[in-house]
Amino acid sequence: MTKELMKGNDAFAEAAVRAGVGGFFGYPITPASEFLEYMAKRMPELGRGFLQAESEVAAINMVYGAACAGVRSLTATSGPGLSL
């Protein structure tokens, strides 16, 4: 395995990809926007699901739905987004 220097959001996103995340649902909000941008590029490259939601609440509900269907799924948000 080679070493690569990455920003924190990119490293977390790539770790999720390598862990087998099949669906990412997110809403662009700082500081999680870079995570969403990375997943927007990476997930389609692998034939996996990516969807930009209309809100943080919609994103987490999409994660719940995908998880109930057996898909390893993920979202990323900010502190205020999490409190919704």
Domain assignment present for 2: no
Domain assignment present for 44: yes
- Dump pLDDT digits (tens) for 28-79: 988 889 999 999 999 999 999 999 999 999 999 999 999 999 999 999 988 7
- Domain containing 55 equals 21-83
Domain assignment present for 73: yes
Structure tokens at 3: 């070493």
Distances (CA, A) of 67 to 47, 61, 75, 78: 18, 10, 12, 21
Domain count, the chain: 1
CA–CA distance, 60 with 3 (Å, rounded to integer) = 32
Domain assignment present for 77: yes
Domain assignment present for 5: no
- Contact yes or no for 42/17 (Cβ under 8 A): yes
pTM of the model: 0.87
